[in-house]
């Protein structure tokens, strides 16, 4: 059965039942009210008729009194009988008539027999004489008695009994008329009701049909549309013909169809991308394999060579350097892969800090200016004059972004120049890195940010893993920024990104780059003043190879080393010897590492002992939470470098590394920061300029000083960073800082002089 027909049938049956019930109830109420009304009208008719009848009878008594006076006064019985026969009986429904003489004796009862002759009236004469008439209601009529008199002369008396046949007949006629009228009215109402019922039923059926059609029609349309969608036709949209629930359903269906279309397309695209990514990953694995094999080959090859005795010291040193470079290359490759994995799994977090932006940029510029110079490329750095000194951002990740982009620029540019432009406006930092390199083919351009996608020719592909741009884009997006690229094949490329970067108050200049520790330059350490014996380090490493390397390194540097590879050994060794620092591999079986640390922390003597937890960088969120609650002082993420390990030791044991004599200069901690600035010649203030600024600062004329700084920038853009720093001091009315900052230039001038 069709849906519309089913709805129509249901609605019709329900409506018919309802209407029939309503009609039956109405009919009963009508009958009930009509009966009650009929009885009331009947009683009213009786009452009204009786009142009328009584009034009429009183009048009749008066009339009869006049009419009968003379005959009765003259005792003309015959005439009285004729009057009774011809008049009274014609007018009144007489049951009995007694005409009595003045003595109260009946002289005629109006019948031929006159059987009441000489009988006494039923009503006392005194009572009759006192009243105009006596009227009483009998069970079936009236009793009327009156004296026949004219003025004061009484001719006789009359008693009448009137039956109520006429009354009954009249009332019956009236009741019949009322009942008939009521019945006609009820019949009319019933007929109207029946007609209305039939009409309403027909209308109900029609309405039910229309309702069911109106309900089912959209459903049928939805069904057809659903079939179309099931067949993959997403373009069909249903017209929304109403604003009711059906309209909402159709609207939702259309939205669903649109979303399905959208999601299907997205799925297709995702599938394509996934397939592409999978393909890229396959290619990448091949590349990575090659990438990994290349340095490994070098490492293994040179390792084998070093086992031979006839190598000269120069050849041995070269072989060691090659092994180290190949290892670092492998580490970079692995770090990139780990970063990408972190970002894709959502484990990458930003740690924004306040830092000195011009200095930050200058360090990068210095780094890549050297690299560019090594490839005979020009490097142009063009910062905006509006760059703030202090900004709030994740400097490490921003550095990673710029290094990636600048590294690519250097890598893919064989001649010409590389340009870095930096602008800042409205808390938005814009960096533009352009080169005159090989460019990117237009067909590849859309995929350059895809992970494991490499660009460039086969040779160039071999130099990287294809993760740099992908990591860069994801980092920018994490910072809620965006990146764009324009490239012309064999002409060059231009990458530009924008990230939110709020300005902060003045940030003192300090190096953001930790000095690089060169393990080969370290020969030992100096303990802190409170500790006069070598530090004891407990090392719990499951991997034998790692344990041996670490043991060799730490022992060589002068640490007293304890080894353990189980929970019991750790606890036993720790409680026995009380080491100054513990390095524990947290991935010991069955979480032994974490539980061991927790157990150690319960001992009072290990409450403050530094414990370095070694774990993997790919730990998931629950595991990260577990690690944080383990009680470790810090973590090293595998694969970590020896430098990172040494920095951790330096931090937690407060020791000072001792270097070989020829490597003392590399201890960057001892190098003053100012010397680290490798400012160009055009970034120097002349003695005159420094003197002028010194004088204005001493005078406290900051307004003139600001004008002077602006004129310096206009004359020499290379002074932008310095002048911005000085302007920052001027804005803070810090004349002392200005004087200190320009002091070296004054001294230089003096020395020169």
92-131 residues in contact with another protein (CB under 8 A) are 101, 107-108, 111-115, 117-118
The count of chain residues that interact with another protein, using the rule CB under 8 A, is 16
- Our CB check for another protein shows the closer of 77 and 704 to be 77
Shortest approach of another protein to residue 86 CB, angstroms? 11
Which residue from 472, 480, 473 is spatially nearest to 352, judged by alpha carbons? 480
- Our CB check for another protein shows the closer of 75 and 551 to be 75
- Binding test (CB under 8 A) with another protein, winner from 77, 205, 219, 591: 77
- Our CB check for another protein shows the closer of 112 and 313 to be 112
Shortest approach of another protein to residue 57 CB, angstroms? 27
Q: How far is CA 76 from CA 118, 158, 648, in A?
A: 15, 14, 161
Shortest approach of another protein to residue 161 CB, angstroms? 19
- Our CB check for another protein shows the closer of 107 and 387 to be 107
Shortest approach of another protein to residue 170 CB, angstroms? 33
Phi, psi for 570 (deg, rounded to 5): -60, -50
Kindly indicate which of the ranges 78-86, 400-408, 588-596, 688-696 contains the residues binding another protein, using the contact rule CB under 8 A. Answer: 78-86
- Binding test (CB under 8 A) with another protein, winner from 12, 60, 65, 81: 81
What is the CB neighbour count within 10 angstroms for residue 627? 18
Phi, psi for 260 (deg, rounded to 5): -60, -45
Cα 312–316–317 angle (5° rounding)?
120
- Our CB check for another protein shows the closer of 156 and 383 to be 156
Grouping H, G, I as helix, E, B as strand and the rest as coil, residue 583 is strand
Packing angle of the helix pair 567-577, 592-601 (nearest 10 deg): 30
What does DSSP say about strands 560-564 and 536-540: parallel, antiparallel, or unpaired? Answer: parallel
Phi, psi for 420 (deg, rounded to 5): -120, 120
Residues 6+ apart with CB under 8 A from 294: 326
Shortest approach of another protein to residue 133 CB, angstroms? 25
Helix (H) / strand (E) containing 383: strand 378-383
The span from the CA of 250 to the CA of 230, in Å, is 16
Residues 537-556, mask of contacts with another protein (x by CB under 8 A)? --------------------
DSSP lists the bridge partners of residue 144 as 135, 160
56-75 residues in contact with another protein (CB under 8 A) are 75
Handedness of CA 524, 529, 534, 540 (dihedral sign): negative
Kindly indicate which of the ranges 77-85, 194-202, 365-373, 544-552 contains the residues binding another protein, using the contact rule CB under 8 A. Answer: 77-85
- Our CB check for another protein shows the closer of 112 and 232 to be 112
Shortest approach of another protein to residue 72 CB, angstroms? 11
Q: How far is CA 354 from CA 430, 699, 733, in A?
A: 18, 32, 21
Shortest approach of another protein to residue 95 CB, angstroms? 19
What does DSSP say about strands 611-616 and 634-638: parallel, antiparallel, or unpaired? Answer: parallel
Shortest approach of another protein to residue 113 CB, angstroms? 5
- Our CB check for another protein shows the closer of 116 and 225 to be 116
- Our CB check for another protein shows the closer of 153 and 651 to be 153
- Our CB check for another protein shows the closer of 111 and 667 to be 111
- Our CB check for another protein shows the closer of 113 and 544 to be 113
Packing angle of the helix pair 642-653, 544-556 (nearest 10 deg): 50
Residues 6+ apart with CB under 8 A from 70: 76, 155
Shortest approach of another protein to residue 183 CB, angstroms? 47
Cα 391–636–518 angle (5° rounding)?
80
The span from the CA of 78 to the CA of 92, in Å, is 20
- Binding test (CB under 8 A) with another protein, winner from 15, 26, 76, 384: 76
Residues 6+ apart with CB under 8 A from 37: 182
Q: Is 170 in the site for another protein (CB under 8 A)?
A: no
The span from the CA of 367 to the CA of 511, in Å, is 14
Shortest approach of another protein to residue 70 CB, angstroms? 11
Shortest approach of another protein to residue 144 CB, angstroms? 23
DSSP lists the bridge partners of residue 97 as 160
- Binding test (CB under 8 A) with another protein, winner from 16, 19, 46, 79: 79
- Our CB check for another protein shows the closer of 79 and 676 to be 79
Binding region for another protein (CB under 8 A): 75-79, 81, 101, 107-108, 111-115, 117-118
């Amino acid at each position: 059965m069709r849906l519309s027909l089913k709805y129509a049938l249901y609605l019709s049956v329900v409506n018919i039942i309802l209407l029939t019930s309503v009609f039956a109830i109405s009919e009963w109420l009508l009958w009930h009210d009509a009966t009650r009304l009929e009885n009331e009208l009947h009683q009213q008719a009786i009452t009204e008729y009786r009142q009328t009848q009584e009034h009429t009878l009183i009048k009749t008594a008066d009339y009869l009194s006049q009419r009968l006076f003379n005959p009765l006064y003259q005792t003309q019985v015959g005439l009285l009988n004729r009057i009774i026969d011809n008049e009274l009986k014609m007018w009144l429904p007489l049951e009995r008539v007694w005409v009595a003489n003045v003595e109260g004796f009946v002289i005629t009862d109006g019948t031929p027999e006159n059987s009441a002759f000489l009988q006494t009236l039923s009503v006392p004469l005194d009572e009759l004489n006192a009243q105009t008439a006596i009227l009483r209601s009998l069970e079936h009529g009236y009793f009327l008695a009156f004296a026949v008199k004219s003025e004061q002369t009484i001719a006789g008396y009359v008693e009448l009994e009137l039956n109520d046949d006429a009354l009954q007949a009249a009332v019956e006629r009236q009741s019949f008329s009322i009942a008939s009228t009521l019945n006609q009215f009820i019949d009319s109402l019933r007929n109207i009701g029946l007609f209305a019922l039939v009409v309403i039923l027909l209308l109900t059926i029609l309405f039910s049909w229309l309702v069911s059609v109106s309900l089912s029609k959209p459903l049928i349309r939805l069904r057809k549309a659903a079939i179309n969608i099931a067949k993959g036709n997403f373009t069909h949209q249903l017209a929304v013909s109403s604003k009711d629930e059906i309209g909402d359903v159709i609207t939702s269906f259309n939205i669903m169809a649109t979303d399905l279309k959208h999601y299907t397309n997205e799925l297709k695209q995702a599938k394509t991308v996934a397939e592409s990514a999978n393909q890229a990953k396959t290619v990448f694995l091949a590349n990575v394999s090659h990438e990994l094999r290349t340095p490994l080959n070098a490492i293994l090859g040179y390792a084998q060579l070093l086992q031979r005795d006839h190598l000269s010291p120069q050849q041995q040193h070269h072989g060691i350097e090659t092994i180290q470079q190949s290892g670092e290359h492998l580490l970079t490759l692995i770090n990139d892969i780990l970063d990408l994995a972190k970002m894709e799994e959502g484990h990458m977090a930003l740690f924004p800090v306040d830092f000195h932006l011009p200095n930050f940029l200058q360090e990068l510029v210095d780094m890549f200016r050297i690299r560019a110079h090594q490839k005979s490329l020009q490097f142009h750095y063009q910062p905006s004059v509006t760059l703030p000194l202090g900004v709030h951002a994740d400097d490490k990740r921003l550095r990673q972004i710029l290094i990636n982009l600048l590294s690519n620029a250097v890598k893919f540019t064989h001649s010409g120049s590389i340009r870095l432009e930096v602008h800042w406006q409205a808390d938005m930092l814009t960096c533009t890195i352009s080169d005159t390199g090989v460019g990117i083919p237009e067909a590849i351009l859309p995929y350059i940010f895809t992970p494991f996608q490499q660009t460039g020719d086969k040779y160039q592909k071999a130099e990287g893993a294809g993760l740099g741009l992908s990591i860069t884009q994801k980092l920018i997006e994490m910072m809620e920024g965006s990146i764009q690229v324009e490239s012309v094949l064999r002409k060059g490329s231009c990458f530009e990104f924008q990230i939110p970067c709020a300005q902060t108050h003045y940030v003192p200049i300090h190096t953001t780059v930790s000095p690089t520790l060169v393990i080969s330059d370290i020969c030992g350490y100096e303990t802190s003043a409170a500790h006069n014996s070598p530090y004891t380090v407990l090392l719990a490493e499951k991997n034998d190879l790692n344990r041996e390397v670490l043991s060799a390194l730490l022992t060589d540097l002068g640490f007293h080393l304890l080894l353990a590879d189980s929970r019991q050994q750790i606890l036993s060794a720790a409680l026995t010897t009380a080491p100054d620092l513990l390095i524990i591999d947290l991935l010991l079986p069955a979480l032994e590492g974490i539980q061991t640390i927790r157990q150690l922390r319960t001992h009072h003597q290990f409450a403050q002992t530094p414990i370095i937890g070694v774990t993997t960088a790919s730990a998931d969120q629950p595991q990260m939470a577990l690690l944080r609650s383990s009680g470790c002082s810090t973590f090293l993420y595998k694969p970590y470098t020896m430098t990172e390990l040494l920095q951790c030791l330096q931090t937690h044991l407060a020791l000072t590394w001792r270097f070989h004599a020829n490597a003392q200069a590399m201890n960057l901690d001892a190098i003053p920061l100012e010397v680290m600035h490798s400012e160009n010649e055009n970034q120097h203030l002349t003695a005159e300029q420094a003197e002028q600024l010194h004088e204005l600062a001493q005078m406290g004329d900051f307004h003139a000083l600001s004008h002077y700084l602006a004129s310096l920038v206009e004359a020499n853009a290379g002074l932008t960073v310095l002048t911005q720093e000085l302007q920052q001091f001027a804005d803070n009315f810090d004349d002392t800082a200005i004087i200190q900052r320009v002091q070296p230039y004054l001294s230089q001038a003096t020395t020169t002089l």
